[in-house]
Amino acid sequence: GALVYQYPRRTICKSGTSMRMECQAVGFQATSVAWYRQSPQKTFELIALSTVNSAIKYEQNFTQEKFPISHPNLSFSSMTVLNAYLEDRGLYLCGARDVGAGAETLYFGSGTRLTVL
């Protein structure tokens, strides 16, 4: 079946430092990957949509300068949170779309939980 692995599961970083998180699709070809943030304020925000061989589309309030994303092939994507501050806390979820499954279902990883000190 389709599985998505994210690592690390949790990370703690000092304010102003950066951290990188990774997303691995197993068992299917992830032609597009969506990065979301589930915040302590209980919102579930789309950060960006990444499609292989296409430009990455960032949502309002999120920029490439702050959240650079790499999506080099059909099984891997990574995102970095640069200069992390308190407002960047949350659970970062990677959702990969399996076009072979139809209906555009997103398969999510368990997320990377970011704590900023």
Site for another protein in 23-82 (CB under 8 A): 32, 34, 36, 42-44, 46, 49, 51, 54, 57, 60
Q: Tell me, by CB under 8 A, how many residues bind another protein.
A: 25
Query: Could you say whether residue 93 binds another protein (CB under 8 A)?
Result: yes
* Count of all residues that appear for the chain in the document: 117
Considering only 71, 95, 112, 116, the residue that binds another protein (CB under 8 A) is: 95
Min dist. Cβ of residue 83 to another protein (A)? 26
**Which residues here bind another protein, judged by CB under 8 A?**
4, 32, 34, 36, 42-44, 46, 49, 51, 54, 57, 60, 93, 95, 97, 103-111
